[in-house]
Structure formats: structure tokens, C-alpha cells
Amino acid sequence: MNRNKFFIDGKIAVNRRLINEHYLMTVVISDNFPKPLPGQFIMVRLKGRHEPFLSRPFSVYQYNHQDDKVFIQILYRIAGKGTRILSELKRGVILEISGFHGHPFDILPHASNVILIAGGVGVSPISYLASHYKDNIHNTDMRLSCYLGAKSAKHLLGVETLEMSCSSVEISTDDGSSGYHGMVTESFACNVAAYRPDQSFIYACGPASMLKRISEILCDYPIPCQVLLEQRMACGFGACLGCTVEVNGAGEMKRYVRVCTEGPVFNIHDVIWE
């Protein structure tokens, strides 16, 4: 199979509600489904159904290869019609999956501090990235520190999975019911001065307001940072222009780029935050 592009059927093995509007779906694929790179995404739609017609983009949360089967998990939140329909699907239903879309995160094998910041379902690509570092980068001097935010202790997702890969997981909750009392960005801001910019690298995924706040914090601390944008998409392969965002170009120039093809991973200071 071509490592870079495929269209494939996947059968739902498990689709269960975790908390509130958040679900975890495990899809079994009998083919030799290649492993996506961290930051790449898949487009998912219901096979043979025209409502919703368009596929929806998701990050892969976990990937496991056993015998001749591949199990992929997506962690998702009901955001609208498509994800609501997804949440109602039962075991055995066939999905159409296409991928791998987009540019992956840069991997920094020699960084001393890899800092991960996740909010909401942004924990999915961040967790997958953390597993990638743990499994593939054998640098004993590297510290993998994660900052994970949620509304309350009840809304925290993926803590145990992150703890398996990271040196530390700093939790913050808006209501103070677990960990730091406040936004994940402010928990990170408390520690940012301790990271040497030339030895550190940040990855972040979460609501746009969270990413914007990180960009403000990093104006004073020039640590390189990549963000994954969870933009609404229609086609997923560059044809419809439905996913464009404005970024800084050369000099004073600004330009529009497609998140599905030029992203979804961007350098944080390239994005123009509204």
C-alpha cells in the first residue's frame, strides 16, 4: 500500500461514551494500515450514507498492530451533526477512512525539554505524539513534560495514556477540582522561564483561544512551538478552500493557506490569531 495516501474501510469495534459529550471509538482495519506520523489526520465518513455527505477530520489517538489487523482509536467530542451521528454508531458499522492528510509535527530527537500542551480533544494528537517520542526517541537526557487542561476533574481526558509516555503531567482545571486552579496556559506560564529556548520545543493543540494565549506568552520567551489547528474541513485534500487560515508571509505580507494541505501543523508565530 502507498504509505502516504489510502482509502480504506474500517469496522467499528467499540464506540463508547467517556464523559459528557466525549467518545472513544476503536476501528478495526484488516488491511496493513500504515502508521500515521504524529500530527497527520484521517478523514472519516459513514460508508454508503449520504448524510452527512462530507467526511470529518480526526487525529489518531492510538494505533496498534496485531497479527494482520490494525486497531485505531479516535477520541472525539460531539461538535455538530457529523460527530453526533458518529456517536450513535454501533459495533460492526463500516466507516470509510482516507489519509494520511497533512504535514506532521517536526520531531526533535536532541531537545532536552519537549513540552506538550493540550486542551479538550487536543489531547488526542498530543498523546499520540507523546507515544511517538517514547517509542522512537531514545534520548535519556530528554524530559517530556505535558500540561493538560480541562474544565473540571470530571472533564479530564487521556491522563493515564499521557502518564505512560511523559516524564510529568501537570493537570489544571478551570474550577480547581484537580491540579492547578486555572487555565492550562497559566499553569504553563508559571514554569515557562525554567525552559531554555535553545534546548526546548513546544507542541500544542486545543481551542484557538488557548493557542492564542500561548503565542502571547511566547513573545517574551522565544521557545519554538508548533500548533495543530482543528479547523473545520470539507474535502481534506486541498480542493474546496473551506479550511483556509491567514498566516504571516514574507515581510509585511499576509497570505491564506489551507489547513488540510499546508497544515494542520503550523509554527505558532506564523498564524494570525484573531
Ligand X SMILES: Cc1cc2nc3c(=O)[nH]c(=O)nc-3n(C[C@H](O)[C@H](O)[C@H](O)COP(=O)(O)OP(=O)(O)OC[C@H]3O[C@@H](n4cnc5c(N)ncnc54)[C@H](O)[C@@H]3O)c2cc1C
Q: In what order do the strands lie in the sheet with 22-29?
A: 56-59, 41-46, 94-101, 6-19, 22-29, 69-77, 62-66
Cβ-based nearer residue to ligand X, 80 or 109 = 80
Cβ-based nearer residue to ligand FES, 39 or 158 = 39
Q: Which amino acid is at 148?
A: L
Reported for 244-252, long-range contacts at CB under 8 A and 24+ positions apart, including other chains, are 245/271, 245/272, 246/271, 246/272, 247/271, 247/272, 248/272
From the list ligand X, ligand FES, none, pick the one residue 121 interacts with, judged by a Cβ distance below 5 to 8 Å according to partner type.
ligand X
Q: What phi, psi does 231 have (nearest 5°)?
A: -75, 150
Pairing of strands 143-150, 168-173: parallel
From the list ligand X, ligand FES, none, pick the one residue 153 interacts with, judged by a Cβ distance below 5 to 8 Å according to partner type.
none
From the list ligand X, ligand FES, none, pick the one residue 210 interacts with, judged by a Cβ distance below 5 to 8 Å according to partner type.
none
Q: Which region, judged by CB under 6 A, interacts with ligand X, from 3-11, 128-136, 176-184, 228-236?
A: 228-236
Q: Rounded to whole angstroms, how far apart are CA atoms 264 and 199?
A: 24
Does residue number 262 form part of the binding site for ligand X (CB under 6 A)?
no
Min CB(263)–ligand FES separation in Å: 9
Residues 62-101 contacting ligand X, CB under 6 A: 74-77, 79-83
From the list ligand X, ligand FES, none, pick the one residue 238 interacts with, judged by a Cβ distance below 5 to 8 Å according to partner type.
ligand FES
Min CB(240)–ligand FES separation in Å: 3
Min CB(168)–ligand FES separation in Å: 36
Partnered with residue 226 across adjacent β-strands are: 203, 267
Q: What phi, psi does 62 have (nearest 5°)?
A: -145, 150
Min CB(244)–ligand X separation in Å: 11
Q: Which residues bind ligand FES (CB under 6 A)?
A: 233-236, 238-243, 258, 260
Q: Are 134 and 51 in contact (CB under 8 A)?
A: no
Residue in 114, 116, 210, 233 binding ligand X, rule: CB under 6 A: 233
Min CB(229)–ligand FES separation in Å: 11
Q: Which region, judged by CB under 6 A, interacts with ligand X, from 53-61, 63-71, 180-188, 189-197?
A: 53-61
From the list ligand FES, ligand X, none, pick the one residue 109 interacts with, judged by a Cβ distance below 5 to 8 Å according to partner type.
none
Q: Are 211 and 268 in contact (CB under 8 A)?
A: yes
Cβ-based nearer residue to ligand FES, 139 or 244 = 244
Cβ-based nearer residue to ligand X, 81 or 154 = 81
All residues at 6 or more sequence positions from 78 whose CB lies less than 8 Å from its CB, including other chains: 21, 22, 23, 84, 87
Q: Are 44 and 100 in contact (CB under 8 A)?
A: no
Q: Rounded to whole angstroms, how far apart are CA atoms 249 and 81?
A: 35
Closest residue to ligand X, judged by C-beta, is 80
Nine-digit cell at 32? 496493513
Cβ-based nearer residue to ligand X, 41 or 188 = 41
**Interaction site with ligand X (CB under 6 A):** 41, 52, 56-59, 74-77, 79-83, 121, 124, 230-233, 264
